[in-house]
Amino acid sequence: MPNIKSAKKDLRKNIKRAAGNKVRREAFREALKKATKAKSADEAKKLAVLAQQALDKAAKTGVIKKNTAARKLSRLMAKVHAMKT
């Protein structure tokens, strides 16, 4: 436990930030899972849009890096396009 007043405040801020990051991380992971496990190609396409939004928000807020979001989206879209054929 921190003893200095500013360190205590930093700890409180870190806990809040970690909670927010966890929410964002879980949101995009769930969106990716739903999109990959979709029954039809149309459903997968709609869910892929939601996954893209979640990935973009995570990248924008710094939960994941921009290139990581792009890579995950690219792999998801490859799977969605493979469903069509």
- Going from the first residue of the chain to its last (85 residues), give the mean pLDDT of each consecutive group of 10, the final group possibly shorter: 95 97 97 95 94 97 97 96 85
**Predicted local confidence at residue 2, as pLDDT:** 92
The predicted structure's pLDDT at residue 84: 78
Q: Answer for the pair 29, 58: CB distance below 8 angstroms, yes or no.
A: no
Every domain of the chain and the residues it spans: 5-84
Q: Are 54 and 28 in contact (CB under 8 A)?
A: yes
Q: What is the CATH code of the structural domain delimited by 5-84? A: 1.20.58.110
SS3 4: coil
